Chains A and B, each alone.
Chain A
Amino acid sequence: MSAIAPGHHVAQPSREPPPSLIAGPLAWMRTNLFNSWLSTAVTLALGYLVLRMGTSFIQWAFIHAVWTVPMGANGTLDPAACRAAQGVGACWAVIWDKYRFILFGRYPYDQQWRAAIVVVLFIGLFVVSGMRRFWRKELVLIWIGTLTVIGVLMWGGVLGLTYVGQDIWGGLPITLILSTFGLAVAFPLAVLVALGRRSTTMPAVRMLCVLYIELIRGVPLISLLFMASVMFPLFMPEGLNPDKLLRAQVAIILFAGAYLAEVVRAGLQGLPKGQYEAADAIGLGYWRKMGLVILPQALRLVIPPLVNTFIGFFKDTSLVLIIGIFDLLTSGKVAVAEPIWQAYSTEVYIVLALIYFAFCFSMSRYSRGLEREFGKSVRR
């Protein structure tokens, strides 16, 4: 580039910077939103729509909203104010009245503090597990300890806590239990299955893994849940009938395992063959090679699709609704089944969506951070 023969005409560098380099929101808008009459028209039309919808949502959700309703003569809340505002303003009073049912389902009202602590413990567990300085062997102990405490709190029956059967657990704890145990068990399962599927020395294991993945991926989660709740008990011997929650949990684990296995496999295939050979050549055996050299790299490669699958499964746990397990979505649905609140399901679903969003968005932000951090140390 720099070696231009003398006598050649060399264009004088222009004094003005190129247009895209002029900073500022106005310049950005000119290049991105108003660069031709067509894009100007589209921008204006969309802008008008967004503005209209935005303002009417704000009016509905905040300005004309009814936040509380007074107690009626018969000791229940009187939703007359909400009825008056119907169609114009939201009725957040339903949330105020029902939030504990939405969060904890039919868990005994006076014991719901236990379920609340469980939710806090789960969130704490996620936060601690997310911090790299806790990525040591002790983390396993932290998990075991926390999950034990969670079990004690939910079931009770010891330490003076009254016993609460898991058939009346509900709400957010159920969603967190299903997704946490689901992914915590499905992930190691997925790694093993992915390794099995790539095994060259054990064709039987490879076949089994392929069979598992293809069978599970071939059916929708809903039908797997139905099978777990309806068909499975038919084949079990009398008296040995695992609980419905456990069966749903197993179905979710098997389902998530198959999907995650394919994600992990993609990571394994993404590594150059030289990495496997170098690990072989320095004498690492199969498990050390995988655990110390291959998996750490392969999993980093697939953080985005892995987290994508995690997020998908967090939301998919809501499908247990159809077999009558009282997760967050179910308890929201049941809350608005009550006659006085029947007209205000929108408000409840918005709140449910916000809760799901909070968890999923945190996962997504966290994975972005991880990618950045790993990107720093592993520059090829």
Chain B
Amino acid sequence: MSQSVTGEAPAILLDKVNKWFGVLHVLRDVSMTVAQKEKVVVCGPSGSGKSTLIRCINRLETHQEGRIVVDGTELTDDTRSLDTIRREVGMVFQSFNLFPHLTILENCTLAPIWVRKIPKAEAEELAMSFLTRVKIPEQAKKYPGQLSGGQQQRVAIARALCMRPKIMLFDEPTSALDPEMIKEVLDTMIGLAEDGMTMVCVTHEMGFARQVADRVVFMDRGEIVESGTPAEMFENPQTDRLQLFLSQILRGH
């Protein structure tokens, strides 16, 4: 289905991926393809394996069975493939994870300078352009602790973008934010989507999913239970599990 969006090779391919934490089977035969420039929203109850799934895509977690291919590179123990993946895939965490001992600008230039080996002046220029894009260039000289949660999360997005990734992963980027800051982060992500970034985003923001997602994937207990366009999924859920989940989400909001 997703390959038909464009004719190219998929950005991400998961083929019967299985993962265990000890005896806990957290990913069960997960297969999924994400086409270039496709935006996929992953949702599901807490503990269903959403974080584990997207952390496997940039190999913060290792899977034990199955195949994961990202932008044509299969994820293996080979460190060279790891380096390639980490350059191509940016990640934004729920808890921002900015480096508190570095300024906003230094947070953004660290990887370009040390991994991409870009000269410092050029890296700073690049960082400023992305900070402008997330609308906080004036905070460049401050430290993360001096910024609000929403601002920190936008810096985290800029930091990931500075590596010029082809794919962006988001793990509940707005869950740790106060309600009044959620919009500024979502707007940033919408802007990114409009520019054609390939995105996999774990979120329960249904409005965002409707507006941006090409496809919504619903996970429960380590499996992909259902997937489809936002309209199909939200208006016409096929499984009881998704119905239950949606009713809980709606009640919560």
Contacts and interface: CB of A to CB of B under 8 A. Distances in A.
Interface in B57-105: 58, 60, 83, 86-87, 89-91, 93, 95, 97-101
B101 A283 contact: no
Contact of A380 (B83, B111, B115, B145): B145
Interface in B155-200: 159-160, 163
A283 B83 CA distance: 6
Given A274-B95, A283-B83, A284-B111, A380 B60 contact: no
A288 B114 contact: yes
Contact of B110 (A275, A284, A297, A380): A284
Contact of A377 (B87, B101, B111): B101
A378 interface: yes
Contacts of A280: 60, 86
> What size tier do the contact residues of chain B reach?
20 to 34
Contacts of B99: 275, 278-279, 293, 297
Contact of B91 (A281, A292, A293, A380): A281
A312 interface: no
A296 interface: yes
Contacts of A275: 97, 99
A47 B101 CA distance: 47
Contact of A292 (B60, B87, B110): B110
Contacts of B101: 296-297, 300, 377-378
A277 interface: yes
A348 to B, nearest CB: 46
Contact of A277 (B97, B114, B115): B97
Contact of B97 (A278, A297, A380): A278
A380 to B, nearest CB: 5
A5 interface: no
B129 interface: no
Contacts of A300: 101
B111 A282 contact: yes
B83 A277 contact: no
A300 B58 CA distance: 30
Given A281-B60, A282-B160, A283-B87, A377 B97 contact: no
B208 interface: no
Contacts of B159: 282
Given A378-B100, A380-B145, A282 B163 contact: yes
A379 interface: yes
B163 A274 contact: no
Contacts of A282: 86, 90, 110-111, 115, 159-160, 163
A283 B100 CA distance: 18
A378 B146 CA distance: 9
Contacts of B100: 297, 378-380
A293 to B, nearest CB: 6
A111 B178 CA distance: 71
B60 A277 contact: yes
Contacts of B163: 282-283
B143 interface: yes
Interface in B125-164: 143, 145-146, 159-160, 163
Given A277-B60, A378-B143, A379-B146, A284 B93 contact: no
Contact of A274 (B97, B111, B146): B97
A275 B98 CA distance: 7
Contacts of B111: 282-284
Interface string B227-247: 000000000000000000000
Contacts of B146: 379
B80 to A, nearest CB: 11
A118 B8 CA distance: 71
A350 to B, nearest CB: 43
B86 A292 contact: no
A281 B95 CA distance: 14
A118 B145 CA distance: 44
B143 A379 contact: yes
A300 to B, nearest CB: 7
A275 B95 CA distance: 10
Contacts of A283: 83, 86-87, 111, 115, 163
Contacts of B97: 272, 274-275, 277-278
Interface string A161-176: 0000000000000000
Interface in A68-82: none
18 contacts: A272-B95, A272-B97, A274-B93, A274-B97, A275-B99, A277-B93, A281-B60, A281-B89, A281-B90, A282-B86, A282-B115, A283-B86, A292-B110, A297-B99, A378-B143, A378-B145, A379-B145, A380-B145
The 8 nearest A-B residue pairs measured at CB = A283-B86, A278-B97, A379-B145, A282-B111, A274-B97, A281-B91, A283-B115, A378-B100
Given A277-B60, A297-B101, 16 more contacts: A274-B95, A274-B97, A277-B93, A278-B98, A279-B99, A280-B60, A281-B93, A282-B115, A283-B87, A284-B110, A285-B115, A288-B115, A293-B110, A378-B100, A378-B145, A380-B145
